[in-house]
A and B are shown apart, each in its own frame.
Chain A
């Protein structure tokens, strides 16, 4: 079942990231990961499109950058290869939008880490799916 999760859903930086004790059934976890993966991918598309326009979004799609959205480390690396320091600005826009969708407060004064921000967001998604 683990391979099913990794192939299809959110594949965070540590793979086995478990934000809270207790567990979902494999199917519930699979569904939660897919839901998070879907929200993240759409948020990235919206954020990049709104910041830099549809043409840039289309080019990034053609270059396969948006295929890496489930792996934050790989996505960050690919984004930096194209945008240099501007990658962090795009990532902040993504995290701000994602946090707004999930009801998480965004602190622009705090130090920023894309992977950790996504871990936090995934944690919230995971807990919410446990409560359903």
Chain B
């Protein structure tokens, strides 16, 4: 499988980061998978199997997380693999936390 993402990451707000991270059920599953296994390095096929999904269902969701920067991609031998960028992940979740601090529980978004 070729590279999923080659673009530059642009600066995004905590609100936008949150919307991207929780943009779909599959993305939620991917976040939990990589946070529970922060050293995980696997192909998209492998990642899909680990969360009980098909590659087709996962590929666009992985691409979203690559574009956000929470996941990174590299080539190992003949395979393209994805893994968690721990520093970027920490930075993004900090932005989300700061965004949530500004919200009041009970107010409609």
Judging by beta carbons under 8 Å apart, are B28 and A60 in contact? no
Which residue of the partner chain, among B29, B52, B96, contacts A52 with CB atoms under 8 Å? Answer: B96
Judging by beta carbons under 8 Å apart, are A51 and B106 in contact? no
A75 to chain B minimum Cβ distance, whole angstroms, is: 11
| Stretch of B3-11, B19-27, B40-48 on the interface side | B19-27
Judging by beta carbons under 8 Å apart, are A65 and B93 in contact? no
User: What band does the interface of chain B fall in when counting residues whose beta carbon is under 8 Å from A?
Assistant: 20 to 34
Q: Which of A38-73 contact B (CB under 8 A)?
A: 47, 50-53, 55-56, 58-60, 63-65
Which residue of the partner chain, among B93, B96, B105, contacts A78 with CB atoms under 8 Å? Answer: B105
Interface centre among A56, A58, A77, A90 (most CB of B within 10 A): A56
Interface centre among B28, B32, B101, B109 (most CB of A within 10 A): B28
Judging by beta carbons under 8 Å apart, are A84 and B25 in contact? no
Nearest neighbor of A63 in chain B, beta-carbon distance: B105
Contacts of B59 in A (CB 8 A): none
Judging by beta carbons under 8 Å apart, are B36 and A86 in contact? no
A53 to B29, CA, bound (A): 14
Whether A31 sits at the interface, judged by CB under 8 Å, is no
Whether A5 sits at the interface, judged by CB under 8 Å, is no
A65 to B18, CA, bound (A): 17
Judging by beta carbons under 8 Å apart, are B25 and A108 in contact? yes
Judging by beta carbons under 8 Å apart, are A93 and B93 in contact? no
Judging by beta carbons under 8 Å apart, are A51 and B28 in contact? yes
Judging by beta carbons under 8 Å apart, are A82 and B103 in contact? yes
Judging by beta carbons under 8 Å apart, are A86 and B105 in contact? no
Whether B75 sits at the interface, judged by CB under 8 Å, is no
Q: Which of A56-112 contact B (CB under 8 A)?
A: 56, 58-60, 63-65, 77-78, 80-86, 88-90, 92-93, 108
List 12 A-B residue pairs with CB atoms under 8 Å apart, sorted by A's residue number.
Answer: A47-B32, A51-B21, A51-B22, A81-B103, A83-B18, A84-B19, A86-B18, A86-B21, A89-B27, A90-B22, A90-B28, A93-B28
Apart from A80-B109, A81-B103, A85-B19, 16 more pairs, CB < 8 Å: A47-B32, A50-B31, A51-B32, A52-B21, A53-B90, A56-B93, A56-B96, A56-B100, A58-B97, A63-B105, A77-B106, A81-B109, A82-B103, A85-B22, A89-B23, A90-B22
